[in-house]
């Protein structure tokens, strides 16, 4: 393929993939080549991430409270991989796009990447991946996409863009591992960063997701005091999420006269 014909954006694109996963690498490479998008593979980090110094420590008690089970090595490496790319964005002061190697790209992906490049400095975090059970509200439009802000967060981090400022904040906030990476990111009511999306989505799950599950990631019965503590925490999350959404709405309303992002009128929630 002629490199001159590749689609260039303001953001480097990184694909997280284990070095030995040839089939997965070819799966994602063929899609990005067909889309004429320049990208770089990032060699995924293994489950030894805590012992290798990628985190200052592991808070197992908080991990159980945050996701209902104990940590398993695979998700430690997954978090470390995303976090190392956040560090790269922060250190180079450059926004980046991050994909995982089991993603499927729609024909809209190159355009979504270009639109995200133009918005990431203002929005900070833009999800490109489809979601289940999340809720969101339209806050603007960039043809052919609607810009949405999540009011109930999605799971997964298969495809997204992040600004260097948000990446820096996330890195500083995650020196101690106490949750899976997508659980940390989804809690916008704690880290304070609104989570945005471009719809229609341009990244979705591929057939490879059926074999992606992290080994050992199963919930087990918890002692009653732990279960009660987790229930109380989840209730507190709901209250904090409502408060954060109110604050985001006030911020959006206050910025309508000066924002460069058109604010949708008659915005409505989507999702279940």
Q: Is the separation of the CB atoms in 16 and 82 below 8 Å? A: yes
Could you report the per-residue pLDDT of 176-212, keeping only the tens digit for each? 999 999 999 999 999 999 999 999 999 998 877 656 5
Domains in the chain: ranges and CATH: 3-270 (3.90.550)
Burial of 220 (0-12, 13-18, 19+ CB in 10 A): exposed
Give yes or no for residue 8 having a pLDDT over 70.
no
Q: Higher pLDDT residue, 2 or 204? A: 204
What are the angstrom distances between the C-alpha of 14 and each of 9, 78, 81, 195, 219? 13, 14, 11, 20, 31
Q: Which of 83, 79, 84, 72 is nearest to 214 (CA)?
A: 72
Could you report the per-residue pLDDT of 89-148, keeping only the tens digit for each? 999 999 999 999 999 999 999 999 999 999 999 999 999 999 988 999 999 999 999 999
Q: Which of 5, 256, 270 is nearest to 140 (CA)?
A: 256
Q: Which of 191, 38, 163 is nearest to 89 (CA)?
A: 163
Q: Higher pLDDT residue, 258 or 248? A: 248
Could you report the per-residue pLDDT of 218-234, keeping only the tens digit for each? 666 777 888 898 899 99
Could you report the per-residue pLDDT of 24-82, keeping only the tens digit for each? 999 999 999 999 999 999 999 987 766 678 999 999 999 998 888 888 888 899 999 99
Measured from the Cβ of residue 125, the count of other Cβ atoms closer than 10 Å reads 21
Tell me which residue has tokens 């293994």.
46
| Structure confidence at residue 219 (pLDDT) | 64
pTM of the shown model: 0.88
| Structure confidence at residue 2 (pLDDT) | 45
| Structure confidence at residue 148 (pLDDT) | 97
Predicted confidence band of residue 7 (pLDDT cuts 50, 70, 90): low
| Structure confidence at residue 109 (pLDDT) | 96
Q: Is the separation of the CB atoms in 160 and 126 below 8 Å? A: yes
């Amino acid at each position: 393929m002629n490199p001159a014909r590749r689609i260039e954006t303001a953001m480097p694109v990184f694909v997280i993939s284990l070095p030995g996963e040839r089939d997965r690498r070819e799966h994602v490479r063929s899609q990005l080549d067909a889309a004429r998008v320049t990208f770089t593979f990032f060699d995924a980090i293994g489950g030894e991430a805590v012992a290798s110094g990628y985190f200052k420590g592991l808070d197992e008690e908080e991990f159980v409270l945050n996701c209902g089970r104990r940590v398993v090595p695979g998700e430690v490496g997954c978090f470390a991989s995303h976090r190392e790319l956040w560090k790269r964005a922060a250190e180079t002061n450059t926004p980046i796009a991050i994909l995982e190697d089991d993603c499927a790209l729609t024909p809209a992906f190159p355009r979504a990447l270009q639109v995200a490049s133009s918005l990431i400095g203002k929005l900070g975090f833009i999800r490109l991946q489809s979601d289940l059970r999340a809720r969101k509200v339209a806050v603007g439009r960039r043809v052919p996409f609607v810009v949405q802000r999540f009011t109930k967060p999605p799971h997964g981090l298969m495809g997204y863009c992040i600004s260097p400022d948000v990446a820096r904040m996330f890195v500083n906030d995650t020196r101690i591992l106490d949750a899976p990476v997508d659980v940390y990111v989804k809690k916008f009511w704690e880290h304070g960063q609104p989570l945005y999306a471009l719809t229609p989505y341009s990244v979705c799950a591929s057939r490879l997701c059926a074999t992606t599950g992290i080994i050992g990631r199963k919930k087990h019965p918890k002692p009653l005091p732990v279960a009660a503590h987790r229930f109380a925490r989840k209730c507190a999350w709901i209250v904090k999420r409502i408060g954060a959404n109110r604050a985001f709405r006030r911020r959006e309303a206050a910025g309508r006269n000066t924002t460069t992002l058109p604010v949708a009128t008659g915005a409505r929630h989507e999702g279940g």
